[in-house]
Amino acid sequence: IAAASLAQVHGAELADGTRVVVKVQVPGVERDVETDLRAFKVLAPLLAELFPELDLVSIAAELDRGIREELDFSDEAQRAGEFAARFADHPSVRVPGVHLGLTARRVLTLDRVDGERLMPFLEACEARGAEGEADRDRLFATLVGSFCTQVLEHGVFHADPHPGNFLVLPGPNLAIFDFGCVVTYPPELRRGYASLA
């Protein structure tokens, strides 16, 4: 169904007929990532003089933390379950349920959610005139609202919001996927964002 540098996602069906997706880590990717992270940690201080406006040492440390987090699908399953619980009563946002008994460090099994990819949906909206524009605006309101809810209310933010991590459901409603990269905001930071807004 989908592929990225760390994993592939395949459609499957459980013995009881439940449709699921199975995210499987690319074999050997942990070793490759480890090599790349070590190289970047060594290079960051050396490159710092060339790019003084960037804090490459801090970027290297954050990259190291974030990518290691993304490699453990058991942790991702926990975060996905927490997001699903937080949005369980939201009328326009869906987070697929997790099958913990079929999940491990390198395999993640989720309920299958079928929908339209975000970018083709937006392109089709443009072609449909006023009705399409209204659907686009409703979807963007849901998307922006869901992220405001994450930051200001939940204090837990999906930190990889690229178009491949969303599907558009009828309504239009929004399905959110891939909780490998999640950031927690303490109350004082949430208050700061609220004041800024």
The set of catalytic residues is: 160
As a whole number of angstroms, the distance between CA 151 and CA 95 comes to 17
Antiparallel, parallel or unpaired: β 173-176 and 93-94: parallel
Looking at this protein, which amino acid is placed at residue 143?
Answer: L
Q: Do 150 and 158 touch, CB atoms closer than 8 A?
A: yes
As a whole number of angstroms, the distance between CA 164 and CA 179 comes to 12
As a whole number of angstroms, the distance between CA 46 and CA 41 comes to 9
